[in-house]
């Protein structure tokens, strides 16, 4: 996290790190389910379709959480909603350890998803609104880099805890972030932009917010952003939540699969840091288009790879470029709307994306259950990711160096 030192203001650094750890805990919870599913497949004899349903329950909750938290954050403040979403997903994750049936676990993962989906767009909006224009894009990408830290923690828990203590202990660890909310309550403040808007007592109804997002001056941007979010989330959750299981399908043991996925996950960090550098040097569109195209190529390579060496190499490239693109996505999204509807606009786009996160794991489960080859499945992801890249290329506007609008 050495790039955090590029932020000269101590308050900005504190906000970035404080919000970053909440982001890390979110990623840890999302990541750990992919490893738990691999363990439950053996213990509960889950079918591929059931694996798809379980991994999708998080995303169904995230659809609701992202949209609701976006609207609530515009009304009650970024900080308040950030704290409540953190508490919600932590409590539901801890209770998941007590699940004795597939149905109960699905319900608890749905509730967890509401908190997970709500926390992310609110945290990115808070950081984006607080940072000076010259640091804004880099700061949000660095915030996103904590996601890699969360996945690394999840992979370490999977490797060292699940085989020895069982999947329930992994969920218990997932409840610990609730205590972090006590620290956040004192450590962070709402953004100056939001406070100014609140002090003016400007209140916009839900209908007016949606109308604003689809007003003529934002219509093209909203179409682009919804396509981008859907394609990125669809491909990410379809590929990464299935990675440990796919490694098993390719003939590797559970322990070896977890080890390989851990190696791939570590590659996310340099992906973020290079994106953080390029996003202020060459712009948001450059990072998103280039990193998404290279993600698509890596997906096709991973799907056709057979040897362990080729799988790891392709997986490293997939992690590097896909998570770099995620950093660009979170930096770009809050810059496209005015303060009064910023959280709502980002929340709705995120929510549309989460629909892709619901569909993809279910679709992969169905395709695997019908004996469709892994290369064909990843060929589908290749095509979907390119659609997102071309949407940014032809419909997106460049926001590098521009002040946020009020």
DSSP string, 346-403: HHHHHHHHHHHHHHHHHHHHHHHHTT--HHHHHHHHHHHHHHHHHHHHHH----TTPP
Does the pLDDT value for residue 347 go beyond 90?
no
Q: How many CB atoms lie within 10 A of CB 160?
A: 11
Q: Which of 324, 348, 360, 121 is nearest to 237 (CA)?
A: 360
Using an 8 Å Cβ cutoff, are 33 and 55 in contact?
yes
Q: What percent of the chain has pLDDT over 70?
A: 96
**CA 54 to the chain's CA centroid:** 17
> Is 190 or 4 the better-scoring residue by pLDDT?
190
Neighbours of 315 (CB within 10 A): 25
> Is it the case that residue 246 has pLDDT exceeding 90?
no
For 287-326, write each residue's pLDDT tens digit. Answer: 999 999 999 999 999 988 888 888 889 989 999 999 899 9
**Is pLDDT at 274 greater than 80 in this prediction?**
yes
140-162 pLDDT tens trace: 888 888 988 898 899 889 889 98
Q: Quote the pLDDT of residue 83.
A: 94
Q: Would you say 238 and 52 are in contact if contact means Cβ atoms under 8 Å apart?
A: no
What does the mean pLDDT of the chain come to?
88
| Spatial separation of the C-alpha atoms in residues 337 and 218, rounded to whole Å | 8
Contact residues for 399 (Cβ-Cβ < 8 A; gap 6+): 137, 284, 332, 335, 336
pLDDT at 220: 95
- Predicted local distance difference test score (pLDDT) of residue 201: 58
Query: Who's near 199: CB < 8 A, 6+ residues apart?
Result: none
pLDDT of residue 406: 60
Q: How confident is the model at residue 225 (pLDDT cuts 50, 70, 90)?
A: very high
What pLDDT is attached to residue 394? 96
CA distances, 202 to each of 33, 198, 258, 406 (Å) = 41, 6, 50, 11
* 223-259 burial code (b ≥16 CB/10 A, e <16): ebbbbbbbbbbbbbbbbbbbbbbbbbeeebebeebbb
The SS3 call for residue 215 is coil
Helices (H), 77-132: 78-96, 102-130
Instruction: Please identify which residue in the block is written with the tokens 């005015």.
Output: 338
Distances (CA, A) of 35 to 40, 120, 170: 9, 22, 10
- Superfamily of 10-187+200-395 according to CATH: MFS general substrate transporter like domains (1.20.1250.20)
In this model, does residue 2 exceed pLDDT 60? no
317 within 8 A of 176, measured Cβ to Cβ? no
pLDDT range class, residue 7, cuts 50, 70, 90: low
Answer with the residue of higher pLDDT: 304 or 199: 304
The pLDDT of residue 203 is 67
Residue 140: predicted pLDDT: 86
More confident residue, 357 or 101: 101
Of the candidate ranges 24-38, 195-209, 268-282, the one whose mean pLDDT is the lowest: 195-209
What angle, rounded to 10 degrees, do the helices at 308-332 and 102-130 form? 50
What is the model's pTM?
0.79
Specify the DSSP element, H or E, that contains 272. Answer: helix 268-281
- What is the dihedral sign for C-alpha 381, 383, 389, 391? negative
Rounded Cα–Cα distance for residues 304 and 167 (Å): 31
pLDDT score for 88: 95
Average pLDDT for 336-352? 86
> Domain coordinates of the chain in residue numbers?
10-187+200-395
Give me the helix-helix angle, 268-281 and 254-266, nearest 10°.
20
Question: What pLDDT band is residue 1 in, cutting at 50, 70 and 90?
Answer: very low
pLDDT-derived band at 81 (thresholds 50, 70, 90) equals very high
């Amino acid at each position: 996290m050495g790039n955090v030192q590029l932020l000269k203001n101590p308050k900005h650094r504190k906000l970035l790190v404080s919000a970053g750890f909440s982001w890390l805990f979110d990623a840890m919870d999302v990541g750990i389910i992919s490893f738990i599913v691999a363990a439950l497949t053996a213990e509960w004899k889950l079918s591929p379709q059931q694996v798809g349903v379980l991994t999708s329950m998080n995303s169904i909750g995230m659809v609701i959480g992202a949209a609701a938290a976006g609207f609530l954050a515009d009304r009650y403040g970024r900080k308040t909603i950030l704290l409540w979403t953190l508490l919600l997903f932590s409590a539901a994750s801890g209770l998941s350890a007590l699940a004795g049936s597939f149905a109960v676990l699905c319900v608890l993962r749905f509730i967890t998803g509401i908190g997970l989906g709500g926390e992310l767009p609110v945290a990115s909006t808070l950081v984006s609104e607080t940072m000076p224009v010259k640091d804004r894009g880099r700061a949000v990408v660095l915030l996103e880099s904590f996601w890699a830290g969360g996945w690394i923690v999840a992979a370490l828990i999977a490797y060292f805890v699940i085989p020895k203590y069982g999947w329930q202990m992994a969920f218990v660890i997932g409840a610990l972030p609730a205590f972090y909310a006590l620290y956040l309550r004192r450590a962070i403040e709402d953004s100056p932009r939001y406070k100014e808007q609140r002090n003016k007592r400007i209140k916009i109804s839900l209908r007016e917010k949606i109308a604003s997002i689809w007003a003529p001056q934002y219509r093209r941007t909203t179409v682009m952003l919804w396509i981008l979010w859907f394609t990125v989330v669809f491909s990410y959750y379809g590929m990464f939540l299935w990675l440990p299981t796919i490694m098993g399908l390719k003939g590797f043991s559970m322990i070896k699969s977890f080890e390989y996925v851990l190696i791939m996950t570590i590659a996310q960090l340099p992906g973020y840091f290079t994106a953080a550098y390029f996003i202020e040097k060459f712009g948001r569109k450059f990072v998103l288009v280039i990193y998404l195209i290279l993600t698509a190529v890596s997906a096709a390579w991973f799907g056709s790879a057979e040897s362990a060496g080729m799988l790891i190499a392709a997986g490293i490239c997939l992690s590097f470029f896909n998570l770099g693109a995620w950093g660009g996505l979170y930096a770009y999204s809050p810059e496209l709307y005015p303060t009064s509807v910023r959280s709502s606009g980002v929340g709705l786009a995120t929510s549309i994306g989460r629909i892709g996160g619901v569909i993809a794991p279910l679709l992969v489960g169905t395709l695997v259950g019908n004996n469709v080859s892994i290369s064909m499945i990843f060929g589908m992801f290749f095509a979907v990711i390119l659609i997102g890249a071309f949407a940014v290329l032809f419909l997106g506007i460049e926001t590098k160096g521009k002040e946020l609008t009020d």
